[in-house]
Amino acid sequence: MKVSYYPGCSLHATGREYDESVKAVSKALDIELNEIDDWSCCGASSAHMTNFKLSVALPARNIIAAEKDELDVMVPCAACFNRFKSAQYHLKNDEALRAEVEGIIGEEYKGSVAIRNPIDIIYNDIGVDKLSEVVTKKLEGLKPVSYYGCLLLRPPEVCEFDDYENPYMMDKLMGSLGAESRKWSCKTDCCGGSLTLGKTEIVVRLVDRLMTMAREAGANCIVTACPVCFANLDTRASENVVLPAFYFTELIALALGLEGSDAWFKMHNVDPRPLLSSLGLI
């Protein structure tokens, strides 16, 4: 299959291993990525927290650019995904806003492309059966908790993604790789997101709780699809509770025996390699 690709700013910087692993996994699963031409930032939390119209117009510029190709748009970053879905929701339901935004961008908004996270594309279009067929190294001994966070799921009528109180797609993907996905009750809790610079102590408290709960659930690592969550998990947890974090695509790549995973793991602040080598996975 062929999709439009919106990496977003994080995937070109602190989320580099997410970008590279999404690309490696997509290639292995025959998903062709067509990067949106001359894309710009979605505005993230800072736009919608301070200026509603800006928060719709910034993603709209990218969605309109993607509409030329009429393909589903893969948006790996949960924060970008949320802003794109939210812009589409408002543009669909508010005609006056839509006319104004079209005037600002200077082009028509058609609402013709679906915004999709790679979890959804791999789970629904590739499928767990196909995925488990191409696994060359089962992730035996790896016990991740799947951490979905806020921005893929809420509000549900905007995000239209998985079960919003008890999501399962990432757990199923982990299971198909041979990992033992652990059940826990913090799948959809918040990590504090963009408060990480302005109010670090709040993020430390939230992340420490996530790590503590993951340990109670018997996990030895935590897996996510959000570069904001990943950065907070990987850099803000206290030493006595910390567990290594992974992007879900890094683990798919590892199980598929794809090249590059060692370079990605080296970029983590909390080095996951001791855990992986103790399990004989690297």
The binder of other proteins chosen from 24, 58, 229, 253 (CB under 8 A): 58
> Is 104 among the residues that bind other proteins (CB under 8 A)?
yes
Residue 57 engages other proteins in binding (rule: CB under 8 A): yes
Q: DSSP strand E in 137-278: where?
A: 144-147, 221-224, 245-247
Among 19, 23, 26, 48, binds other proteins (CB under 8 A): 48
Q: Is the CB of 229 or the CB of 256 nearer to other proteins?
A: 229
Q: Is 92 in the site for other proteins (CB under 8 A)?
A: no
Interface of this chain with other proteins, residues 232 to 251, rule: CB under 8 A: 235
**Complete DSSP assignment for 83-149:** HHHHHHHHHHH-HHHHHHHHHHHTS-----S-EE-HHHIIIIII-HHHHHHT-SS--TT--EEEE-T
Q: Is 43 in the site for other proteins (CB under 8 A)?
A: yes
| C-beta separation of 65 from 37 below 8 A | yes
Task: Choose which of 66, 150, 242, 255 interacts with other proteins (CB under 8 A).
Answer: 150
How, if at all, do strands 144-147 and 115-116 pair? unpaired
Q: Which stretch binds other proteins (CB under 8 A): 6-14, 23-31, 125-133, 174-182?
A: 6-14
Query: Residue 118, preceding bond cis, omega within 30 degrees?
Result: no
Draw the binding track, 178-217, toward other proteins (x: CB under 8 A; -: no contact).
----------xxx-xxxx-xxxx-x--xx-----------
**Residue from 210, 208, 216, 225 nearest 167 by CA:** 225
Strands across the sheet containing 221-224: 144-147, 221-224, 245-247
Binding footprint of other proteins on the chain (CB under 8 A):
9-10, 12-14, 16, 38-41, 43-54, 57-58, 61, 103-106, 150, 153-156, 164, 188-190, 192-195, 197-200, 202, 205-206, 235, 266-267, 269
